[in-house]
Chains A and B, each alone.
Chain A
Amino acid sequence: MCGIVGLFLKDKALEPRLGEMLSEMLITMTDRGPDSAGIAVYSDDHEGQAKLTVQADDPSRFAGLDEDLSKALGCDVTVRVKDTHAVIDLPEAKMAEARTALKELCPDARVMSAGEVIEIYKEVGLPGDVAKRFDIPHLAGSHGIGHTRMATESAVTTLGAHPFSTGADQCLVHNGSLSNHNSLRRQLAREGITVETENDSEVAAAYLTWKMQQGHSLGEALEAGLDDLDGFYTFVVGTKDGFGVVRDPIACKPAVMAETDQYVAFGSEYRALVNLPGIEEARVWEPEPATVYFWKH
């Protein structure tokens, strides 16, 4: 199983409530996956600024990181610690340098996401607990994706939790299992794309990153995935300003979508959508097999 939720806001007035709505949707999906949970949120874009979300099992490792990083990079860096995660706000131009410096300054820290607007929080545990630990209901943003996992292809660990981010501001969540992930992983390695975990879903994320690096849009990358990814999948993916959904041709992993003037919403089940504003009047449908759905701000 696994439960997926996604929310892409069209109405800016709803943006302060993104985290709250997304958390509630994900908590409804708890019984689809008890192993780990995670949420990616796309928030305000500050010109020239970027952020890095990192995780360490022992958050005391983050003590003094802001000063150390500021000194190493020669610029102002702020670090917001939230439980086992820390969001590092820094100038966009310093991103590569910061990732190198981080390996030295805080070797235990593992990068969850990097980009201009994305923040990813994920941990082992139930959606309700994860949402509480990271105060997700208070996060604002333009779009977000959540996942609660029932592990099949790799271990129940923080790094094995979804969403997976393999490129700047990109993320993917997956319900299903891929059967050609090992050969694809080797193929991606030859292309210089590193996949960090043994997880099949991360390979799918890396595949899309690779396609987008070659100049494809997210929609085109998803289309290509229909030919190259073998197995069962319902994917929900996010980019800096986009939100996409695709299901494999067999389409046995459930999916429901709803659209109003205010939002586009995704749920593994309709239950996840019932508290959204105006859901009674929304256009509700089941995404077609082997069909790419894509929205952009």
Chain B
Amino acid sequence: MQTFDLEANGLRALNEALQAQSQQTNETAWQVVNPRGSHAIAVGLDAPIEVRVKGSTGYYCAGMNKQASITVDGSAGPGVGENMMSGTVIVEGDASQYAGATGHGGLLVIKGNASSRCGISMKGIDIVVQGNVGHMSAFMAQKGNLVVCGDAGEALGDSIYEARLFVRGEVKSLGADCIEKEMRPEHVEILRDLLERSEVDAKPEEFKRYGSARKLYNFNIDNAY
């Protein structure tokens, strides 16, 4: 296990060390101590390594991740896992706004609550939130799955293109063009797999599915002012 003291050695050195790991690296286990809410911890990684951040992080932790498994032993600031491509990011605590924004792939697990705009403009990422999500989550979502084991705030899935939204609790309101949809067997299977991979103890049957009504795809003169 490699231990990196962020306070002593600085952010640039940390990200350089982590980004320098190759596909065949033997140094697969990393631990970052003294994160103290710093920004941009473990961003742009592209190797199958495991990184555990021992504490809470600031903006954009684990952004642009490829392949790596990154765990935050605390809460994460705005934009955790932003634009990630693959790999896994786990937040043991809460996540601030726009968690997993624009993510193309991989799995983001938030064990606490996520605040507003979770999964905004998601493009293929899978996001599993064990608690609640705030308002405008999955705004303009294009692809992927957002699983919310608690409640969702106002305007869930506003202006959604595609992407599946699964919510177990209450939805305060649905955004423009987002509707409840039938939970077919294939959706139950997708959800079961996501819950298993995220180690969440919940039954897929308890969830409702939401998605696009596809009414905003084409220009409609009645929507013009």
Pairwise interchain contact A289-B116, C-beta atoms closer than 8 A: yes
Judging by beta carbons under 8 Å apart, are B56 and A285 in contact?
no
Q: List the count of A-B residue pairs having beta carbons below 8 Å apart.
A: 43
The winner among A250, A252, A254, A286 for most chain B CB atoms within 10 A is A286
B residues apposed to A, CB below 8 Å: 36-38, 56, 58-59, 75, 77-78, 93-94, 96-97, 115-116, 134-135
Question: A286 touching B135 by the CB < 8 A rule?
Answer: no
> Are A289 and B135 in contact, CB atoms less than 8 angstroms apart?
yes
Contact of B115 among A271, A272, A273, A286 (CB under 8 A): A286
Contact of B96 among A254, A272, A273, A288 (CB under 8 A): A254
- Asked if B135 and A269 make an inter-chain contact with CB atoms under 8 angstroms apart, the answer reads no
Please name 14 pairs of A and B residues whose Cβ atoms are closer than 8 Å in the assembled complex, sorted by A.
A249-B135, A251-B97, A251-B115, A251-B135, A252-B116, A254-B77, A254-B97, A269-B37, A269-B77, A270-B58, A272-B37, A285-B94, A286-B115, A289-B135
Q: Does A155 sit at the interface, judged by CB under 8 A? A: no
CB distance from A92 to the nearest CB of B (A): 42
Looking at the assembled complex, report how far the CB atom of A51 sits from the nearest CB atom of chain B, in whole angstroms.
35
Q: Which applies to chain B's interface (DSSP): helix, strand, loop or mixed?
A: loop
Q: Which residues of A contact B77 (CB under 8 A)?
A: 254, 269-270
CA distance A249 to B116 in the complex (A): 10
Query: In the complex, what distance in Å separates the CA atom of A289 from the CA atom of B77?
Result: 16
Residue of A nearest to B95 (CB): A286
Q: How large is the interface on A (under 10, 10 to 19, 20 to 34, 35 or more residues)?
A: 10 to 19
**A105 on the interface (CB 8 Å rule)?**
no
With both beta carbons as reference points, the residue of chain B lying nearest to A280 in the complex is identified as B55
Question: Any chain B CB within 8 A of the CB of A72?
Answer: no
Q: B75 touching A270 by the CB < 8 A rule?
A: yes
- With a cutoff of 8 Å between Cβ atoms, the chain B residues found around residue A270 in the complex are 37, 56, 58, 75, 77
| Docked pose: A256 CA to B93 CA in angstroms | 14
A251 in contact with B116 given A270-B75, A285-B94, A289-B134 (CB within 8 Å): yes
B75:A271 contact, CB within 8 angstroms? no
For window 245-286 of A, CB contacts with B under 8 Å fall at 249-252, 254, 256, 269-274, 284-286
Q: Which residue of B lies closest to A272 (CB)?
A: B37
**B75 cross-chain contacts in A, Cβ below 8 A:** 270, 284
Query: What is the CA–CA distance of A123 and B33 in the complex, to the nearest angstrom?
Result: 36
Tell me the bound Cα distance from A271 to B96 in angstroms: 14
Q: What residues of A have a CB within 8 angstroms of the CB of B78 in the complex?
A: 254
CB contacts (< 8 Å) of A286 on chain B: these are 94, 96-97, 115
Q: How far is the CB of A6 from chain B (nearest CB, A)?
A: 16
